Amino acid sequence: MLNGKRILLIVAGGIAAFKSLELIRRLRERGASVRCVITAAGAQFVTPLSLQALSEDRVYSDMFSLTDESEMGHIELSREADLLVVAPATANILARMAAGLADDLAATVVLATDKPVLAAPAMNVRMWTHAATVANVETLKKRGVTFVGPNDGAMACNEHGPGRMSEPEEIVAAIEGMLTAERPPFEKPPFEKPLTGKRAVVTSGPTREAIDPVRYISNHSSGKQGHAIASALARLGAEVTLVSGPVAIADPTGLRTVHVESADQMLAACLAAGTVDIAVCAAAVADWKAAHPAASKIKKKAGSEPPALELAPNPDILATLSNLGAKPGAKRPALVVGFAAETENLVANAIDKRKRKGCDWILANDVSAAAGTFGGEHNTVHLISAAGVEDWPTLAKGDVASRLADRIALHFSRPPKAEAAE
């Protein structure tokens, strides 16, 4: 907990600034007060009004504001905090901090502070690996600035690699490490990712059900959402097994991927992953398989009728994992999350599906052609739990994944009482 701790959050200009809004909420949930300073570039990404609404405090941006200076000089601003957090810390603000510049309020505040500083870098992978940034980060570390992240992953600029800002939950964990541990403030915090020690299994992609050795039944799932969820859980420290059907995308780094074809194989691989804390079923499992797949290619015979295809139901992986506790020796994951891809009555059908499958949460998404979810880059989802329905904004699939991973980390960080209310 961060009861009574005062955080001065400096928001610089990067696409990750939207995550700083969530960071403010997380910090306040834990009892901290947050006061924000925003750079001119930062204000291009999030509005001072959003920061003000979430922090319920005045937002500071102007070094030469007579009112601000008379009420709260920039030196006081930096001193009236227990910790300064620069998030997102762009290449530019890190360079200004390293050079000791005081060319705007944000840089001045960091230069004038006698409090510990935490930076959460966020930038394009080439900017992060550039010798100039590497040197600036080294300089700042030597001077006692603590860093959290960046993470590896897909970036807004369509590149892949280190440069993604840490997730709000990771930044909160770093802050808690710095402010609550009994040790000198400038020492590196014993930073733990919030899902460290948790095991997860994630299903992703389509399944492929053989009709004969060359033909199969499948669907359009790209695996993008499931793979992104597996990565996001791994970034937060979980030990992840990704069980993937046939997809055209690469295996994510930092986790184990098991490749399967059919629903039967997918279920077997999930069970073979052993006891897990978290199961996320994002795969688009084929509902039916060929009842009697042919061992050799079914031949076309001139003049004869096309063969009839008899179908048999596939196992329901989500329902099986949700009901694992029923069998002795098999432990149900503490949190089972499914998806409901619907084209109509989205939320009502998903609420019903949650009950039918016996899972804890359902992420409901609209897969009508107009929504462009299948194969697309974005997803608009609603999180359905026993507590009710959370409507999420339209987000890139990577951000849906990060948000889900954050929610899962939050779920496991809550005391058992709060859990029961969900």
The catalytic residue positions are 157
Determine, following the binding rule CB under 6 A, whether residue 117 of this chain makes contact with ligand C5P. no
Of 120, 125, 179, 318, the one binding ligand C5P (CB under 6 A) is 318
Determine, following the binding rule CB under 6 A, whether residue 333 of this chain makes contact with ligand C5P. no
Question: Which residue lies nearer to ligand C5P by CB, 272 or 418?
Answer: 272
Candidate ranges 45-53, 90-98, 332-340, 374-382; the one touching ligand C5P (CB under 6 A): 332-340
Report how far residue 421's alpha carbon sits from residue 83's, in angstroms, rounded to the nearest whole number. 33
Q: How many residues touch ligand C5P (CB under 6 A)?
A: 13
Report the nearest approach of ligand C5P to the CB of residue 213 (Å). 23
Determine, following the binding rule CB under 6 A, whether residue 247 of this chain makes contact with ligand C5P. no
**Does residue 274 contact residue 199 with C-beta atoms inside 8 Å?**
yes
Candidate ranges 10-18, 245-253, 254-262, 275-283; the one touching ligand C5P (CB under 6 A): 275-283
Of 316, 366, 399, 406, the one binding ligand C5P (CB under 6 A) is 316
Report the nearest approach of ligand C5P to the CB of residue 285 (Å). 3
Determine, following the binding rule CB under 6 A, whether residue 244 of this chain makes contact with ligand C5P. no
**Does residue 258 contact residue 227 with C-beta atoms inside 8 Å?**
no
Residues 178-237 that bind ligand C5P (CB under 6 A): 203
Structure tokens at 324: 């694992």
Of 46, 202, 317, 367, the one binding ligand C5P (CB under 6 A) is 317
Determine, following the binding rule CB under 6 A, whether residue 340 of this chain makes contact with ligand C5P. yes
Question: Which residue lies nearer to ligand C5P by CB, 123 or 318?
Answer: 318
In SS3 terms, the chain reads as CCCCCEEEEEECCCCCHHHHHHHHHHHHHCCCEEEEEECCCHHHCCCHHHHHHHHCCCEECCCCCHHHHHHCCHHHHHHCCCEEEEEEECHHHHHHHHHCCCCCHHHHHHHHCCCCEEEEECCCHHHHHCHHHHHHHHHHHHCCCEECCCEEEECCCCCEEEEECCCHHHHHHHHHHHHHCCCCCCCCCCCCCCCCCCEEEEEECECCEECCCCCEECCCCCCHHHHHHHHHHHHCCCEEEEEECCCCCCCCCCCEEEECCCHHHHHHHHHHCCCCCEEEECCECCCEEECCCCCCCCCCCCCCCCCCCCEEECCCHHHHHHCHHHCCCCCCCCEEEEEEEECCCHHHHHHHHHHHHCCCEEEEEECCHHHCCCCCCEECEEEEECCEEEECCCEEHHHHHHHHHHHHHHHHHCCHHHHHHC
- Residue 267 vs residues 8, 202, 271, 329: alpha-carbon distances, Å: 48, 11, 6, 17
Question: Which residue lies nearer to ligand C5P by CB, 307 or 313?
Answer: 313
Determine, following the binding rule CB under 6 A, whether residue 366 of this chain makes contact with ligand C5P. no
Q: Which residue from 227, 271, 272 is spatially nearest to 253, judged by alpha carbons?
A: 227
- Residue 249 vs residues 208, 239, 244: alpha-carbon distances, Å: 16, 21, 10
Of 133, 339, 351, 405, the one binding ligand C5P (CB under 6 A) is 339
Candidate ranges 47-55, 92-100, 183-191, 311-319; the one touching ligand C5P (CB under 6 A): 311-319
Strand partners, 161: 153
Report the nearest approach of ligand C5P to the CB of residue 202 (Å). 10
Question: Which residue lies nearer to ligand C5P by CB, 289 or 411?
Answer: 289
Residues 125-164 that bind ligand C5P (CB under 6 A): none
Determine, following the binding rule CB under 6 A, whether residue 383 of this chain makes contact with ligand C5P. no
Of 283, 384, 404, 408, the one binding ligand C5P (CB under 6 A) is 283
Determine, following the binding rule CB under 6 A, whether residue 335 of this chain makes contact with ligand C5P. no
Determine, following the binding rule CB under 6 A, whether residue 39 of this chain makes contact with ligand C5P. no
Of 263, 269, 367, 405, the one binding ligand C5P (CB under 6 A) is 263
Q: Which residue from 316, 264, 309, 259 is spatially nearest to 287, judged by alpha carbons?
A: 316
Report the nearest approach of ligand C5P to the CB of residue 412 (Å). 20
Determine, following the binding rule CB under 6 A, whether residue 285 of this chain makes contact with ligand C5P. yes
Report the nearest approach of ligand C5P to the CB of residue 356 (Å). 8
Question: Which residue lies nearer to ligand C5P by CB, 195 or 281?
Answer: 281
Question: Which residue lies nearer to ligand C5P by CB, 39 or 314?
Answer: 314
Question: Which residue lies nearer to ligand C5P by CB, 178 or 321?
Answer: 321
Question: Which residue lies nearer to ligand C5P by CB, 50 or 203?
Answer: 203
* Residues binding ligand C5P (CB under 6 A): 203, 263, 281-283, 285, 314, 316-318, 338-340
